[in-house]
Amino acid sequence: MKPSRFMTLSRHIVEGEKKHPGATGELSALLADFALAVKIIALEVNKAGLVDILGFEGSNNVHGEKVKKLDMYAHDILIRAMDHGGHLAVMASEEEEDIIHIPKKHRIGKYVLLFDPLDGSSNIDANVSIGTIFSIYRRVSPDGLPGTEEDCLQEGYKQVAAGYVVYGSSTMLVYTAGNGVYGFTLDPSVGEFLLSHDDIKIPQRGKIYSLNEGNYKYWHNGLKKYIKYLQDADDRTGNPYTARYIGSMVADIHRNLLYGGIFIYPADKRNPKGKLRLMYECNPMAFIVEAAGGRASDGKQRTLEIKPESIHERSPIYIGSEGDVLEVEKFLREEEMAEAEEKKK
Ligand code: P6P
């Protein structure tokens, strides 16, 4: 369905929430606050290349303000935009070791927000797309009291909403409240996110694989065999898959969401838990991809069923088209069984 010209993010969220009996509109207001914060972040990200003119990190810019690292800037903007709306009990951010409490002067709400304020920010100097990732839960601790770490350590399938913003050739916000995945493109002329991708569905199989092949020598054998299989030829089409790796998780997964394919950041001999963070990278992206008909796992277990133990814990991730993720899981399983048999000899 071609989206209507002026289906704004706010209107879409409100209409979506109306379908949920008993909805209070709090989630709509929370997401609207978030959208405002990312518009402000987008302004700064899009002129990052001019920072040298405006003043480099650590210096004062033309307004006499201290120039921050962009990821810390994004973190601060999100905290300031989200801490007073009365919708949140607690927050957690990649940029903050501990959970972030709501200031006492503000009303405490029923939701929990976890986020990676600016993922891939090391790419910004090369003008490569980067992103913001968010994950929203209902609190589990008693209403009215300050939120707790327990609120922030829920399995991914308990998310009530998740999304990401990709700051690329355009600024796009993709979100799901569990019932379809929707993409909104920022129209700078009106300052609104307008629906541009209605009810996104990821193809059941893709032709793209996305991982850092520079780590080849650290990979486990099952992954090495899988990637070689993709490079040889695809049984269906006789052609090898295409390798695409931006080095920015949000951009890589966003491309695969639209075109199909698989993104992998595996456990390897150096990093037994991989690199990416479960709570504010893997879980929200898994929630979105599953809502679009795809699949996400750590190679064995469904990502959304992993029981978290700490806010910043890492997890391997295989995410994208269902057929591709099932296929790599088969390669990993068969290799593990073969190695176990070998050990018995
Ligand atoms: P590597 C960016 O630093 C990031 O956190 C993700 O966005 C990206 O997918 C990954 O790390 C890239 O890591 O080890 O391939 O440079």
pLDDT in tens, 250-277: 999 999 999 999 999 999 999 999 999 9
- My answer on whether 152 and 43 are in the same domain is yes
195-253 pLDDT per residue, tens:
999 999 999 999 999 999 999 999 999 999 999 999 997 777 778 999 999 999 999 99
In testing the pocket of ligand 1, which one of 249, 271, 273, 318 has its CB within 8 Å of the most ligand atoms? 249
CATH label of the domain that carries residue 217: 3.40.190.80
Of 19-28, 99-108, 312-321, least confident by mean pLDDT is 19-28
Domain boundary among 150, 165, 197: 197
Q: Point out the ligand 1 atom lying closest to the alpha carbon of residue 276.
A: 5
Task: Kindly indicate the confidence band of residue 141, based on its pLDDT and cuts at 50, 70 and 90.
Answer: very high
- My answer on whether 190 and 288 are in the same domain is no
Number of domains comprising the chain: 2
Q: Whose CA is nearest to atom 12 of ligand 1?
A: 247
pLDDT of residue 72: 87
Task: Kindly indicate the confidence band of residue 133, based on its pLDDT and cuts at 50, 70 and 90.
Answer: very high
Distance 248 CA to ligand 1 centre (A): 6
Q: Whose CA is nearest to atom 1 of ligand 1?
A: 247
Distance 275 CA to ligand 1 centre (A): 8
Tokens of 181: 């995945």
Domain with 296 in it: 208-344
Question: Where do runs of H (alpha helix) occur along the chain?
Answer: 9-18, 26-46, 51-54, 70-82, 149-152, 221-232, 249-259, 283-291, 322-344
Instruction: Indicate whether 134 belongs to any domain.
Output: yes
| pLDDT greater than 50 at residue 54 | no
pLDDT of residue 45: 85
In testing the pocket of ligand 1, which one of 265, 270, 282 has its CB within 8 Å of the most ligand atoms? 265
Neighbours of 125 (CB within 10 A): 11
> Which residue would you say has higher pLDDT here, 89 or 72?
89
Distance 120 CA to ligand 1 centre (A): 6
Distance 67 CA to ligand 1 centre (A): 24
- My answer on whether 217 and 338 are in the same domain is yes
Cβ contacts of residue 90 below 8 Å, gap of 6+? 99, 100, 101, 102, 112, 139, 146, 147, 148, 151, 152
Query: Residue type at 108?
Result: I
> Which residue would you say has higher pLDDT here, 220 or 63?
220
| pLDDT greater than 90 at residue 338 | yes
Instruction: Indicate whether 4 belongs to any domain.
Output: no
- My answer on whether 52 and 188 are in the same domain is yes
Distance 272 CA to ligand 1 centre (A): 16
- My answer on whether 102 and 248 are in the same domain is no
Q: Look over the chain and give the mean of its residue pLDDT values, rounded to a whole number.
A: 90
Instruction: Indicate whether 1 belongs to any domain.
Output: no
Distance 302 CA to ligand 1 centre (A): 21
Distance in angstroms (rounded) separating the CA atoms of residues 216 and 235: 24
- pLDDT (average), residues 272-291: 97
Cα dist. 75→95, 98, 130, 197 in Å? Answer: 7, 14, 14, 27
Q: Whose CA is nearest to atom 5 of ligand 1?
A: 120
Segment 323-326 long-range contacts (CB within 8 Å, at least 24 positions apart): 323/204, 323/205, 324/205, 324/206, 324/209, 324/260, 324/261, 324/262, 325/262, 325/294, 325/295, 325/296, 325/297, 326/295
- My answer on whether 21 and 102 are in the same domain is yes
Instruction: Indicate whether 82 belongs to any domain.
Output: yes
Question: Taking the alpha carbons of 204, 207, 213, 217 in that order, is the dihedral positive or negative?
Answer: positive
- My answer on whether 192 and 49 are in the same domain is yes
Query: Residue type at 9?
Result: L
pLDDT of residue 55: 45
In testing the pocket of ligand 1, which one of 212, 275, 315 has its CB within 8 Å of the most ligand atoms? 275
Instruction: Indicate whether 92 belongs to any domain.
Output: yes
Distance 249 CA to ligand 1 centre (A): 6
- My answer on whether 22 and 148 are in the same domain is yes
- My answer on whether 312 and 338 are in the same domain is yes
Domain boundary among 144, 174, 197: 197
Instruction: Indicate whether 43 belongs to any domain.
Output: yes
Portion of the chain with pLDDT greater than 70, in percent = 91
Distance 131 CA to ligand 1 centre (A): 12
Give residues (CB < 6 A) around ligand 1.
Answer: 119-120, 122, 212, 247-249, 275
Neighbours of 173 (CB within 10 A): 25
Instruction: Indicate whether 3 belongs to any domain.
Output: no
| pLDDT greater than 80 at residue 25 | no
- My answer on whether 116 and 236 are in the same domain is no
- My answer on whether 181 and 38 are in the same domain is yes
pTM: predicted TM-score of the whole model, two decimal places: 0.93
Cα dist. 142→89, 111, 127, 298 in Å? Answer: 10, 12, 44, 32
- pLDDT (average), residues 282-310: 98
Domain boundary among 197, 222, 250: 197
Of 122-126, 296-300, 306-310, least confident by mean pLDDT is 122-126
Distance 267 CA to ligand 1 centre (A): 13
Instruction: Indicate whether 203 belongs to any domain.
Output: no
pLDDT of residue 53: 42
- Cβ atoms of 142 and 298 closer than 8 Å: no
pLDDT of residue 23: 64
Q: Point out the ligand 1 atom lying closest to the alpha carbon of residue 212.
A: 15
Q: Which of 202, 201, 162 is nearest to 325 (CA)?
A: 202
| pLDDT greater than 90 at residue 158 | yes
Tokens of 344: 């018995």
Q: Whose CA is nearest to atom 9 of ligand 1?
A: 249
